[in-house]
Amino acid sequence: MTPLRAIAGIMYVETLHLLRYRTQAFIFLVIPLLIFVFLAGVYWDQVILHIPTVILDMDHSPMSQEIIQGVEAHETLDIVGYATDYDQVQYWLQTEKARVAIVIPEDFDRKASRGEPTRILAIIDGSNMVFTNVATAATGEVVNHLAANLRTNLMLSQGLLTDKVRRILQAVQFPIGARYNPTFNYAYFLLFGLGLYILQQTYLLGMATVISREREQGTWIQYQVLPFGRGAIYVGKLLPYLVVGLVQAGLIFLLGARVFGMPMHGKLWLLFLVTATFLLTVSTFGILVSGCTSRVNSIRFTMVMAMPSFILSGFTWPLDAMHPIARTIGECLPLTWYLQAFQSITMKGAGWGVVAPHIFNLAIITTVCFVLSLRFIKKTDRPPYRLIARVYPLLGKPANRYANW
């Protein structure tokens, strides 16, 4: 039997094992796509608009009406009511009927017209950081625009500013542009990251049992007495999962780009190369865990280890802002380097020069896990010579040939 035929046979047997357990097969094959579609529905609007806003106008002046008109004109803020006092504002925020409250104080028009200190109070519900960030930017735009016009008109009325100077000041603008995600689309930022994180979870669920399952069923010994190195056995076992994982990743990319309009600016071959490297890294980690523990414990261990990987990956919180210990742990996780490379390719159109260091780091993690798994399993599961001596004569092969395998 040639090594290629042996690998093909192992792949066939592993595929049957994958499909035999219906629950595990459903989780491994179907759940990633279902969850990705569900997440796409969660982030369907993609951009936060029409944040419910309540107004407390204690001035009732032409200038306060100008502020209210500015709020109404802003697409992010949506006025849902007018409060009569602070207690009512508190009630609206507590019951989440409003996420933003704008309070215009008494004598605001009179003080502002005279140049006396005054302020507009914006109260934002800080329990949800998404609303907080968007509402802070929106209220700041409204108030800053009003303040700039107010200063200009006040200086003109007092003869401190000529029309020519006013036109020059108004001609100088300070626009803010965001590259790669100019609309600050939350779906661009989170959808693919969460979908690929779920793919990692389900992929680990399958890889965590490739050896521990064989041990519990008493069938692992048949691989140990084969006249091939453990590398061929591992290749045969992980290839079915790698093929399925690449197909699932491809479907996620296709759904995200074609159906939900996610950005895909980079080269497709580079994206699949990074994805294949990532899945290979996860595979070797799953095999290492599977070789060290029982089937049940391997599943538990991989799930516990993988759960914080998304948080520690630097995807939602920068690695540079983490504690050095947390940052070090994050840099040892495959998901960290994969998501960074994925974002660089899909959103920024990065090429090989940018992505190569990430692939290199994934390759290092793969090598470490693979070597450790070989060493550990070789040390603990070395097949006894007596068993080889009994098995190989039945196959017409001399047992002493494989005594030191």
Per-residue pLDDT at 194 exceeds 80: yes
pTM above 0.85, yes or no: no
Percent of all residues in the chain with a pLDDT value above 70, rounded to a whole number: 79
Token digits of residue 330: 């994050």
3-state secondary structure of 56: strand
CB count within 10 Å of CB 336 equals 24
pLDDT grade for 170, boundaries at 50, 70 and 90:
low
Q: What is the pLDDT of residues 195-229, one digit of tens each?
A: 888 888 888 887 877 777 777 777 777 776 666 66
Scanning 293-351, the segments in alpha helix (DSSP H) are 295-306, 309-312, 324-331, 334-346
Whole-angstrom distance, CA of residue 268 vs CA of residue 247: 14
Kindly report the CATH number assigned to the domain that includes residue 128: 3.40.1710.10
Per the structure, the complete domain to which residue 157 belongs is given by: 51-171
Q: For residue 393, is it left (φ>0), alpha (ψ between -120 and 50) or beta?
A: alpha
Identify whether 12 is part of a domain. yes
Q: What is the pLDDT of residues 304-343, one digit of tens each?
A: 777 788 888 888 788 888 888 988 988 988 999 999 999 8
3-state secondary structure of 100: strand
One domain, residues 194 and 335: yes
One domain, residues 136 and 263: no
Q: Mean pLDDT over residues 371-381, rounded?
A: 66
Among the candidates 144, 171, 198, a domain finishes at 171
pLDDT grade for 93, boundaries at 50, 70 and 90:
confident
pLDDT grade for 365, boundaries at 50, 70 and 90:
very high
One domain, residues 149 and 218: no
One domain, residues 31 and 164: no
DSSP state for residue 77 in the 8-state scheme: E
Among the candidates 171, 197, 213, a domain finishes at 171
Model pLDDT, residue 377: 66
pLDDT grade for 174, boundaries at 50, 70 and 90:
low
Q: Which residues of 5-42 are buried (b: 16+ CB within 10 A; e: fewer)?
A: ebbeebbebbeebbeeeeebeeebbebbbebbeebbee
> Which H or E run contains 52?
strand 51-57
One domain, residues 396 and 272: yes
- What integer best gives the mean pLDDT of the chain? 78
Whole-angstrom distance, CA of residue 310 vs CA of residue 336: 8
Per-residue pLDDT at 380 exceeds 70: no
One domain, residues 272 and 372: yes
Among the candidates 115, 145, 171, a domain finishes at 171
One domain, residues 231 and 361: yes
Model pLDDT, residue 269: 93
Total domain count, the chain: 2
One domain, residues 163 and 289: no
One domain, residues 210 and 351: yes
